[in-house]
Chain A
Amino acid sequence: MAVIDLANPTRFLRIVDRVLPWLIGATVFLLAVGLYRALNAPDDYQQGATVKIMFLHVPAAWLGMFGWALMSVAALGTLVWRHPLADVSGKAVAPIGAAFTFICLVTGSLWGRPTWGTYWVWDARLTSMLVLLLLYLGVLALYWTAEDPGRGARAAAILSLVGAVNLPIIKFSVDWWNTLHQPASVFRIGGSTIDPSLLTPLLIMALAFTLLFVTLHLAVMRNEILRRRIRSMRLMQAQEVHA
Chain B
Amino acid sequence: MNLGPHADFIVAAYAVTLFVVAALIAWVLLDYSAQRRILGDLEERGVTRRSRRKG
Report whether over half of chain A's contact residues are helix, strand or loop; otherwise say mixed.
Answer: helix
- Stretch from A45-53, A65-73, A82-90, A191-199 that touches the partner: A45-53
- What are 12 contact pairs spanning A and B, CB under 8 A? A43-B4, A49-B2, A95-B24, A96-B24, A103-B16, A103-B17, A103-B21, A216-B25, A233-B39, A233-B42, A233-B48, A234-B47
Among B9, B21, B32, B47, chain A packs the most CB atoms within 10 A around the CB of: B9
Nearest-neighbor residue (CB-CB) of A225 within chain B: B35
A111 pairs with B9, CB closer than 8 A: yes
Shortest distance between the CB of A20 and any CB in chain B (Å): 10
Interface size on B, residues (CB 8 A): 32
B20 pairs with A102, CB closer than 8 A: yes
Among B13, B32, B35, B48, chain A packs the most CB atoms within 10 A around the CB of: B13
Shortest distance between the CB of A58 and any CB in chain B (Å): 12
A151 at the interface (CB under 8 A from B): no
Interface string of B1-37 (1 = CB under 8 A from A): 1111111011011101100110111011001100110
B13 pairs with A222, CB closer than 8 A: no
Shortest distance between the CB of A166 and any CB in chain B (Å): 21
Complex Cα spacing A212 to B18, Å: 13
A236 pairs with B16, CB closer than 8 A: no
Nearest-neighbor residue (CB-CB) of A52 within chain B: B10
B39 pairs with A229, CB closer than 8 A: yes
Complex Cα spacing A43 to B13, Å: 16
Say which size band chain A's interface belongs to.
Answer: 35 or more
B9 pairs with A53, CB closer than 8 A: yes
Nearest-neighbor residue (CB-CB) of A227 within chain B: B35
Besides the contacts A50-B10, A223-B35, what 9 more A-B pairs have beta carbons closer than 8 Å?
A: A40-B1, A52-B13, A53-B9, A107-B16, A107-B17, A113-B9, A223-B32, A226-B39, A236-B48
A15 at the interface (CB under 8 A from B): no
Among A57, A96, A229, chain B packs the most CB atoms within 10 A around the CB of: A229
Nearest-neighbor residue (CB-CB) of A119 within chain B: B9
Contact pick for A49, options B4, B35, B42, CB 8 Å:
B4
A118 at the interface (CB under 8 A from B): no
A232: chain B residues at CB < 8 Å are 49-50
A49 pairs with B25, CB closer than 8 A: no
A60 at the interface (CB under 8 A from B): yes
Known: A48-B4, A230-B42. A99 touches B20 (CB 8 A): yes
Nearest-neighbor residue (CB-CB) of B28 within chain A: A219
B50 pairs with A223, CB closer than 8 A: no
Complex Cα spacing A49 to B6, Å: 8
